Amino acid sequence: MTYQLYIGDRTFSSWSLRGWLLFEKFGLDFETHMVGLYAGTYREELAHLAPARTVPAMQTPEGHVLTDSLAMAETLAERHPEVNLYPQDPAARALARCITAEMHSGFMALREDCPNMITHVWEGFAPSDAVRADLARIEELWALARARHGADGPWLFGNYSIADAFYAPVALRITAYDLPISEAAQSYVDSHLKDPSFLAWRAASQEEHYDPWPYPMPLGRRPWPGDAG
């Protein structure tokens, strides 16, 4: 039972990372197809997957197409109950669905002001009040999940779940823009930074090169955590 997953540039595409983690972290059988998100060829490359116009896009072994990461997550959870993409406990599962949906539809200031990228850390980025408000809400959700259901492991609900896949790029934005968070939130961010699946994704991203850089900022740069200086 092999799924087909279509993703964009690993350096920048946060939604592609979410989609990829849904397969990689739960051991589902899939093949990855890169499309030219920043090369401008992705519409043609996704044409056979109507109505897909964005990444990630997923094609089931039966040929059904899903074009949204939350739809993909719910479909995979439905099709593979044995791997527990959501927590088994009903209360934990309800909260995981809520905070996943909130991430899927919210935190627009963080998204707009801090474009996803995983090459370096910007020095001197000053978050707006709106970004700080997003961070406060994110920390509130993370703390709630960890306090109620996270005692058995480093992830929001102890074991890795769909919620962690959706918040992975949030952790990476916090890192890339050196955003101010609490020690407890940083511990959760660090779990993403050292996760073998993310490290594999980032290693593959280093084959991608851009000139000019798509998201310039008048700021200094320092190495990504764990990179040589």
Q: What is the CATH number of the domain that holds 141?
A: 1.20.1050.10
Q: What is the CATH number of the domain that holds 20?
A: 3.40.30.10
213 domain residue, yes or no: no
Give the range of the structural domain holding residue 69, as residue numbers without chain letter.
3-83
Per-residue confidence at 19, pLDDT binned at 50, 70, 90?
A: very high
Per-residue confidence at 36, pLDDT binned at 50, 70, 90?
A: confident
First to last CA, the chain: 43
Residues 78 and 114 in one domain: no
Residues 124 and 26 in one domain: no
Residues 64 and 158 in one domain: no
215 domain residue, yes or no: no
Percent of the chain with pLDDT over 70: 100
Question: Average pLDDT over the chain, rounded to whole?
Answer: 96
Residues 73 and 119 in one domain: no
**Separation CA 186–CA 92 (nearest Å):** 22
Residues 54 and 94 in one domain: no
- pLDDT at site 118: 98
Residues 98 and 126 in one domain: yes
Q: Where are the alpha helices (DSSP H) in 25-161?
A: 42-45, 69-79, 90-105, 108-113, 129-149
For the chain, how big is the Rg over CA atoms in Å?
A: 17
Residue whose structure tokens are 């996760």 = 195
The one-letter amino acid at 107: F
Per-residue pLDDT for 228 more than 80?
A: no
Q: What is the mean pLDDT of residues 165-186?
A: 98
Per-residue confidence at 84, pLDDT binned at 50, 70, 90?
A: very high
Looking only at the bridges linking them, the beta strands covering 3-7 and 30-34 are parallel
Per-residue pLDDT for 126 more than 70?
A: yes
Residues 77 and 104 in one domain: no
Residues 147 and 75 in one domain: no
Residues 195 and 116 in one domain: yes
163 domain residue, yes or no: yes
Per-residue pLDDT for 96 more than 80?
A: yes
43 domain residue, yes or no: yes
Q: Which of 83, 115, 150 is the last residue of a domain?
A: 83
Among residues 57, 44, 48, the alpha carbon closest in space to that of 15 is found at: 57
Residues 23 and 8 in one domain: yes
* CB of 161 closer than 8 Å to CB of 74: no
Per-residue confidence at 37, pLDDT binned at 50, 70, 90?
A: confident
- pLDDT at site 40: 79
Q: What is the mean pLDDT of residues 82-99?
A: 98
Helix (H) / strand (E) element for 33: namely strand 30-34
Per-residue pLDDT for 229 more than 70?
A: no
* CB of 135 closer than 8 Å to CB of 179: yes
Give per-residue pLDDT as tens, 192-213: 999 999 999 999 999 999 989 9
Q: What is the mean pLDDT of residues 209-219?
A: 92
209 domain residue, yes or no: no
Instruction: Indicate the number of domains in the chain.
Output: 2
225 domain residue, yes or no: no
Give per-residue pLDDT as tens, 43-80: 899 999 999 999 999 999 999 999 999 999 999 999 99
What's the pTM value of the predicted model, to 2 decimals?
A: 0.96
Residues 71 and 23 in one domain: yes
